[in-house]
Amino acid sequence: MSTIVAITVSTNYDDLLDIILPQNHRFFNTWYIITHKDDAKTIEVVNKYNYSNVKLVYFDFYAGNCRFNQGGAIRHVQDILASMNYNGYVLHLDSDIYLPDNFSELLLRLETHSLYGVSSRNDYFSYDHFKAGKADRVHSRDHMFQGFFQLYVFSINTRCKQSENCSQWDLDFHKHFKHKINIPNLHVSHLGHSGVHWTGRKNKEADFAR
């Protein structure tokens, strides 16, 4: 497997980053976490763990009257990768996705020029359910190429566009790829409800009970 650079947009997800950072960081050569410069709690969590491969990047998601320019934030890091002539794998990963222990083993036989998604996603609405392995909702492979997990080989032709909100870039990005493949046996955990936070996360308590 080639190198993997992960890109995560994270504003007001400090409670969930505190859970996923210790698990997920070991799978990536570099992990860029993009947040707003005023999101003190997110910055505090990242600095608390101080992992050498995790890098904070600051971005103004609301500039230009955008409701939440997630596409522009990811494009900002993609431009950094382009300036480094990076040509390995990139993973778009949401702040509330917890990867399985065997994640690296499942990536050993990937092809290039495809967009990779997961086999299934288990939603957990509370920390107790997550720890007990009791999923509140299970999503099948039919819609597994959305922005919560998108793995691909990076090139200047696979960069994101500016977006008005999260759903816009999500729908646009996968159009770069003719071939989409579900990674066999890759089942990820999602901490919270689905179909929310298109303009940033506003209510932690209603999303994931700790």
Tally the residues of the chain.
210
> What is the pLDDT, as a whole number, of residue 111?
77
> What is the pLDDT, as a whole number, of residue 126?
93
Average pLDDT, the chain: 87
Give the separation between CA 146 and CA 117, rounded to whole angstroms.
8
pLDDT in tens, 5-39: 999 999 989 999 999 999 999 999 999 999 999 99
Give the separation between CA 189 and CA 152, rounded to whole angstroms.
20
Structural domains for the chain: 4-191 (3.90.550.10)
DSSP secondary structure letter of residue 192: S
Look up the pTM and report it.
0.89
